[in-house]
Amino acid sequence: MSRLTIDDIQAMKLQGEKIAVLTAYDASFATLLDDNGVDAFIVGDSLGMVIQGHDSTLPVCMDDMVYHSANVVRGSKRTFVITDLPYQSYTTPEQTLNNANRLIKEGGAQMVKLEGGQQQLDNVTILVANNIPVCGHLGLEPQSVNELGGYKVQGRDEESAARILKDAQALQEAGIQLLVLECIPSSLGKLISKTLTIPIIGIGAGVDCDGQVLVTYDMLGISQGHKAKFVKNFLDDKNSIDAAVRAFVDAVKQSEYPAPEHSYQ
């Protein structure tokens, strides 16, 4: 069995097949998710919260991301692997390239993800020029939680919605091949998904995105603290984690998740 590539993920958008994405941080979960039809992993800096117990993603370092990414790659055979560049690891193009190289060479990632819009164009450009696939992240950007004043829905007013759309278009023009949209109105998620040619993965961005991602711990109902509106526990009424993962994948593929009650207006 060969691992999916970014071309396979792009083909899914073109064919109208929804893309099922979950986070992964270790080999055992990676194997289980891989066996149950997940299309892509995000080895997320969310590990700072769900694995390390911090109250944000900000303490996560490059060594953490390399370590967890390598674990996930060793535990999987088919699933496409995207790994986050953590907070303050891409402040200059040179630093961005060096750290992205670590995620690819040491961590085994097939794509790196960074947060931010037009301020990241130089970083995206240097990665693309060095043949490193890039995933963007717009809307709620967890690494900017202090600037945003907390975990709040973004893009609800006309001005901020237009800015997110403009950022998305600029990132695509710079060469990103995938984009995550977090915590934005479903109408904006739909607009961006229809406007851009690259696949759009939503988390709290409405059912009309090309795919959906959840933190695996949220999907299984084992995360602590506040639950975001878009979170659904797929382990409810299931007798195994395998069944819960299959239920998530099926719900995404059939456009049954997110339902209106998981979406923002």
Instruction: Report the CATH number that the domain containing residue 61 is assigned in CATH.
Output: 3.20.20.60
Tell me: pLDDT of 146 over 70: no
Tell me: pLDDT of 54 over 80: yes
Residue 250 lies in a domain: yes
Strand partners, 202: 181, 212
Tens of pLDDT along 230-242? 999 999 999 999 9
- Whether 182 is catalytic is yes
Residue 35 lies in a domain: yes
Tell me: pLDDT of 225 over 90: no
Residue 136 lies in a domain: yes
Mean pLDDT in the chain? Answer: 96
Contact 70, 102 (CB under 8 A): no
Q: Rounding to the nearest 10 degrees, give the CA dihedral for residues 181, 115, 176, 50.
A: -70
What pLDDT score was predicted for residue 226? 78
Q: How confident is the model at residue 188 (pLDDT cuts 50, 70, 90)?
A: very high
Tell me: pLDDT of 148 over 70: no
Burial class (CB in 10 A: 0-12, 13-18, 19+), 58: middle
Instruction: Give me the catalytic one of 141, 158, 182, 261.
Output: 182
Residue 122 lies in a domain: yes
Residue 157 lies in a domain: yes
Q: How confident is the model at residue 223 (pLDDT cuts 50, 70, 90)?
A: confident
Amino acid in position 12: M
Buried b (16+ CB within 10 A) or exposed e, 228-244: bebbbebbeeeeebeeb
For residue 170, the number of C-alpha atoms closer than 13 Å in the C-beta half-sphere is 17
Residue 1 lies in a domain: no
| CA nearest to 112, candidates 127, 125, 93 | 127
Contact 37, 249 (CB under 8 A): yes
Residue 140 lies in a domain: yes
Range of the domain at 193: 6-262
Question: For residue 247, what are the CA distances in angstroms to 41, 68, 144, 237?
Answer: 17, 25, 32, 10
What pLDDT score was predicted for residue 12? 98
Percent of the chain residues topping a pLDDT of 70: 97
| CA nearest to 231, candidates 151, 117, 165, 161 | 151
Tell me: pLDDT of 87 over 90: yes
What pLDDT score was predicted for residue 150? 63
Tell me: pLDDT of 134 over 70: yes
What pLDDT score was predicted for residue 227? 85
**Number of domains, the chain:** 1
Residue 145 lies in a domain: yes
Strand partners, 212: 20, 202
